Amino acid sequence: VPNLQGPRYISPAPNGGFVVSEECGDVKVFTSSRKLLCSLSSKYGHRFGNPAGVCVDVEGSILVADEQRRTVHLFPEHGSPVCLVSTGLRRPVGMSCSTFGHLFVADAGENCVKVFKYRVRPP
């Protein structure tokens, strides 16, 4: 996949595609055939500081750690972005989410992994 602006982190997506964070301040979503599907900043009108870790949950939502803004946002397939974590992170970098709604964030500023629980849809 050419023409990325400082690719940093990558995560597979449920549809066979993948998500890539870029140093330039964007996150791009690609199809299984490696075609650009969208840019999250364009699709959602969201401004990233320095996007780092990315992952995709079981619902197909994309989660992005913003190293500069010290936040984690969830970008649902439909609807508006949701800030999941707005405090308690010093330098969020790598990220992963489980099928049980757990979010694991590597916080390089505190040399630890922080675990959060979230639910997109009501039970």
Write out pLDDT tens, residues 44-66: 999 999 999 999 998 899 999 99
Judged against a pLDDT cut of 90, whether residue 120 lies above it is answered with no
Say if CB 80 and CB 62 are below 8 A apart. Answer: no
Judged against a pLDDT cut of 80, whether residue 35 lies above it is answered with yes
List the domains of the chain with CATH numbers.
7-117 (2.120.10.30)
Say if CB 81 and CB 46 are below 8 A apart. Answer: yes
> Which residues have CB under 8 Å from 62's CB, separation 6+?
13, 19, 27, 29, 40, 54, 55, 56, 74, 75
CA–CA distance, 54 with 39 (Å, rounded to integer): 13
Tokens of 25: 């301040």
pTM of the complete model beyond 0.75: yes
pLDDT at 99: 85
pLDDT at 80: 94
One-letter amino acid at 42 equals S
Tokens of 93: 């970098």
One-letter amino acid at 21 equals S
Judged against a pLDDT cut of 90, whether residue 116 lies above it is answered with yes
Judged against a pLDDT cut of 90, whether residue 118 lies above it is answered with no
Judged against a pLDDT cut of 80, whether residue 78 lies above it is answered with yes
CB-side exposure of 61: number of CA atoms within 13 Å?
26
pLDDT at 94: 95
